[in-house]
Amino acid sequence: MASMLAFAESLGGELRKVAFEAVTAARKAADASAGQVHTLLIGAPGIGARAAELGRYGADVAHVVEHPALERYSPEVFAATAAAIIRQGGYSAVFFAASAQGRDLAPRVAAKLGTSLASDVTEFEVKADGVVARHPAYTGKIIVTVRLTGTPALLSLRPGVVTPVEAHRTVQVQTVAPAMDPTAARVVVTALSQGGGAKLDLGEAPVIVSGGRGLRAAENFKLVEDLAAAIGNAAVGATRAVTDDGWRPSTDQIGQTGRLVSPDLYIAVGISGAIQHLAGMRTAKIIVAINRDKDAPIFKIADYGIVGDLFEIVPRLTAEIRKVRGTQ
């Protein structure tokens, strides 16, 4: 019997989708040996009320750490507390999200425990003699399979590669104190500036509509935004060329040096398909490309491509989708 721990990432008092992805991954690993799934939830007082949502995805136990100074991520307190819980728990594997927070937290925890971490994992298998994990490297051109022999094995999962699956449990809440005084942290997040308000995060959106240089000017991104709005549950992304030029904020960049995304549907508008960009989206389930150049590399990986003038094609697509979906 091997138990697993999933780190439940939250933002502003709400669980993020990546938290459910980590719990689903842990549940799958634990079920192979009839083990338990524990979760760790850290935040401001009241965060413990979210524990039941973790139970919905298969958590048996939620270790809840509440403190007024932990409303925002505090790397030192989170790492010290996670390491303390993991030391006591005797877990076989610990799952983090390879989100901005998880990529910061997981290596710190690994170093505190003297164990190893497989980063940005897209597939894994927990075996008796260690954990085997796959990780895209070399701008996604090479898939590296690694074996972790340390105990516990730490993994950070690429957002979107695990689909959360409901597996109802009545979660048992265990209240835990932070492993260090949260007011004594040396590194302090003093401000959190929200980007575009309540917009859907690229890592969580089932559909991404993304624009490139083919749009010719920043204001033409309206076409992309309108299409995303017509679809409804869609986020807007961009290529590096576009964010470098300041047409879109750098947080919208999809590619090797930006966000790595795996949505159900990725619509590339006016994007030629540079390697840098493909590395960030080639794991999308379905790719649609709209580009005037029939030889653009994006058409080599697009499930459905339309060659032509995006300024005619995109508004037509938006209009047709509005008709079907009854959206604005």
Are 292 and 308 within 8 A, CB to CB?
Answer: yes
Size of the site for other proteins (CB under 8 A): 93
Spell out, one character per residue from 264 to 283, where the chain touches other proteins: x when CB under 8 A holds, - when not.
Answer: xx---------xx-----x-
Are 234 and 258 within 8 A, CB to CB?
Answer: no
Least distance CB 34 / other proteins (angstroms): 26
163 to each of 15, 239, 258, how far by Cα in Å? 15, 26, 22
CA-angle at 316, arms to 310 and 317, nearest 5°: 85
Q: Which of 1, 128, 190, 328 binds other proteins (CB under 8 A)?
A: 190
Q: Whole-angstrom Cα distance, residue 16 to residue 42?
A: 13
Q: Which of 143, 175, 177, 245 binds other proteins (CB under 8 A)?
A: 143
29 vs 231, beta carbon nearer other proteins: 231
Residue 52 sits in the site that holds other proteins (CB under 8 A): no
3-state DSSP call for residue 242? helix
Q: Which of 45, 188, 218, 293 binds other proteins (CB under 8 A)?
A: 188
Q: Which helix (H) or strand (E) holds 301?
A: helix 298-301
Residue 112 sits in the site that holds other proteins (CB under 8 A): yes
Residue 225 sits in the site that holds other proteins (CB under 8 A): no
Residue 203 sits in the site that holds other proteins (CB under 8 A): yes
Q: Whole-angstrom Cα distance, residue 157 to residue 20?
A: 11
Residue 123 sits in the site that holds other proteins (CB under 8 A): no
Q: Which of 129, 191, 219, 328 binds other proteins (CB under 8 A)?
A: 191
Positions 283 through 312 that interact with other proteins (CB under 8 A): 285-289, 294, 298-309, 312
Q: Whole-angstrom Cα distance, residue 55 to residue 60?
A: 6
58 vs 255, beta carbon nearer other proteins: 255
- The alpha carbon dihedral of 47, 48, 49, 51 has a sign of positive
171 vs 269, beta carbon nearer other proteins: 269
